[in-house]
Chains A and B, each alone.
Chain A
């Protein structure tokens, strides 16, 4: 049996080796995400959005001399073990020139530390929001199209203060997303702006009842509950139980709460006092263009992080166009195609971008989720908007500063 197993393993590897001999001169990028695991409900839309970018690239001329761009999917399972494994396979077996993902910050840190930084492959994460990613010693190879939690938390705090919200209670999911947002929010709202947070409590996911948590949060008399959690998961349970039991009158969510599941399960009629923030492009029609295109291929543009995923893939493609499909120099190229000077390129305008790059003209990508002017560390400051629930899904209420 031992020899049989070893032969099986050897056979699998050979088959894989043979199967992965690429078609002539494809340019590959890795699409690594939490396909299985805790964010499995969110990952498919994100990967689809990235594939939309790939599809548009190929429809409008491909990379360089018409080479096909291929998005190779990998599963990080949202943990470091899976993240490094997927990244290693992408870099070494598929030979990708860049990676969109991983989705979870822990997987990003691990994949970068063990694979992409040593191997010199650029990584753009569309949803890794941990501030720890900023500090990676990465030779300029780790970027993100989503602002660090620090930004969004503080922007939300400023916006709420401006809109006249008074005492608030904060409930956050006990993971890096929730804690990051909550702490940034608190620092800005209380320390910088003098606001009042009556209760500030973490919760674990997956419990049946959060009524006792809500009762604790309601002590102190705040009329607004700020929820930093996922609308596809525990955030939904908390919002539901708060509405059903009459806790709080107004609700505010981070971008994780801006999810269809909330509208579908709770009903728009019950969400009149619910707003949530989300990263958006700056005063441009980029977001609308993306929404239309994504709806056109059957995707849901409101899906969380769909716009950041699209931007990450499209940006990577633009950078690869500049480097001629090679992985070296992608980091520098990313900055060049996106840093504020040059002809504006919107989502889907691949052909125009190709022509401009070939002519040596500078371009500046204006993405669906923001302008993506990367700072020295590869972070983006991000612009946000506040959304409410309208007749047809989420609608913008106001920009956030």
Chain B
């Protein structure tokens, strides 16, 4: 197999998939860091975002990319809403209770998608899209958009976290919530902000997954394990780590077909997760061990 085959059929799909995972993993790692629990409804939130974009496309007839901002805003709102209605009341309890609740929320979000949009497979646009040939590399437009969007969104987030007042407040709360409270940071506002960001990124993740393949009601749930693997691989609390983790998991999944039987492809993400937890739980970029 030559280099181009390797790149075209393994590495490039891996990068695209990895970008999708990265978008979700960033949200997961933020929630881990600031709220200190594993959010098991993250995948299904991505599903919701993808389907909201579908609704915009089908009712308004706009191009999918134009629907993305709407989906981001809507999903962010839903995330904040879920927190207010469900997670907020469990704040005083041990975190594991919220994790359990999030498992139930995952089920609820998925059920809503199935009730509203049905169970058939959908796509944003009909027909097949052949990739363009860039000096031997075969890439489709939408794949470029995916990677660029991921880099852009994460870049903006990075700037926000490092330069802006609220971004610094978030990082403070991630490091030491009590101290943050003492220094005058309104924890509740930070929490809302966290959900806005996580929800928005989820929408982007689901959207690009749907754009590159199809929309199915279980699409987000199937991404949950890889997203968590990515977040833990990169180091909990480290946004760049989540991106790196996402890309690694994506590429590893695609490359795994070369060495293990193809039906076990899904196990790759889990193997990475387990390996990291055993060998280096702080992750590649030295995040927290919660």
Contacts and interface: CB of A to CB of B under 8 A. Distances in A.
Do chains A and B make direct contact within the complex (CB under 8 angstroms)?
Answer: yes
Interface of A: 36, 40-41, 174, 201-204, 206-209, 211-216, 219, 232-233, 236-237, 240, 243-246, 261, 264-267, 270
B165 to A, nearest CB: 38
Nearest to A243: B128
Given A204-B266, A207-B266, A270-B128, A212 B13 contact: yes
19 contacts: A36-B119, A40-B119, A41-B119, A204-B266, A207-B266, A208-B209, A209-B17, A211-B9, A211-B13, A213-B257, A213-B265, A219-B1, A237-B213, A245-B130, A261-B121, A265-B121, A266-B127, A266-B128, A267-B126
Residue of A201, A208, A216 with most partner-chain B CB within 10 A: A208
Contact of B120 (A201, A209, A212, A232): A232
Interface in B98-120: 114, 119-120
Given A212-B9, A244-B140, A245-B131, A261 B120 contact: yes
Contacts of A174: 263
A215 B263 contact: no
Contact of A201 (B129, B140, B262): B262
B254 to A, nearest CB: 4
A244 B131 contact: yes
Interface in B124-140: 126-131, 138, 140
B69 to A, nearest CB: 23
A206 B216 contact: yes
B20 to A, nearest CB: 7
Nearest to A206: B222
A216 B120 contact: no
Contact of A245 (B9, B218, B254): B9
B10 A215 contact: yes
B115 to A, nearest CB: 11
Contacts of B266: 204, 206-207
Contacts of A41: 119-121
Interface of B: 1, 5, 8-10, 13-14, 16-17, 20, 114, 119-121, 123, 126-131, 138, 140, 209, 212-214, 216, 218-219, 222-223, 253-258, 261-263, 265-266
A300 B77 CA distance: 39
Contacts of B222: 206-207
B263 A204 contact: yes
B263 A203 contact: yes
Contacts of A213: 257, 262, 265
Contacts of A212: 9-10, 13-14, 254-258, 265
Contacts of B16: 209
Q: What 6 A-B pairs are tightest by C-beta distance, nearest first?
A: A215-B9, A40-B119, A202-B263, A212-B257, A209-B13, A212-B254
B9 A237 contact: no
Given A208-B209, A216-B258, A244-B140, A233 B121 contact: yes
Residue of B129, B214, B256 with most partner-chain A CB within 10 A: B214
Given A204-B263, A207-B266, 20 more contacts: A36-B119, A41-B120, A174-B263, A208-B209, A209-B17, A211-B8, A212-B10, A212-B13, A212-B254, A212-B257, A212-B265, A215-B1, A219-B1, A236-B214, A244-B128, A244-B129, A245-B138, A265-B123, A266-B127, A267-B128
A244 B8 CA distance: 12
Nearest to A174: B263
A90 B177 CA distance: 57
Nearest to B209: A208
Contact of A202 (B138, B253, B261): B261
Contacts of B261: 201-202
Contacts of A240: 128
A216 B140 CA distance: 21
Contact of A208 (B5, B8, B127, B213): B213
A139 to B, nearest CB: 36
Contacts of B128: 240, 243-244, 266-267, 270
Nearest to A237: B213
Contacts of A267: 126-128
Given A208-B20, A270-B128, A215 B265 contact: no
A204 B8 CA distance: 22
A214 B131 CA distance: 16
Contact of A203 (B14, B114, B262): B262
A206 B265 CA distance: 11
B257 A206 contact: no
A216 B254 contact: no
Given A211-B254, A236-B121, A264-B126, A203 B265 contact: yes
Contacts of A270: 127-128
A201 B44 CA distance: 30
A244 B254 contact: no
B2 to A, nearest CB: 11
A243 B129 CA distance: 9
A265 B126 contact: yes
Contacts of A236: 121, 214
Contacts of B219: 206
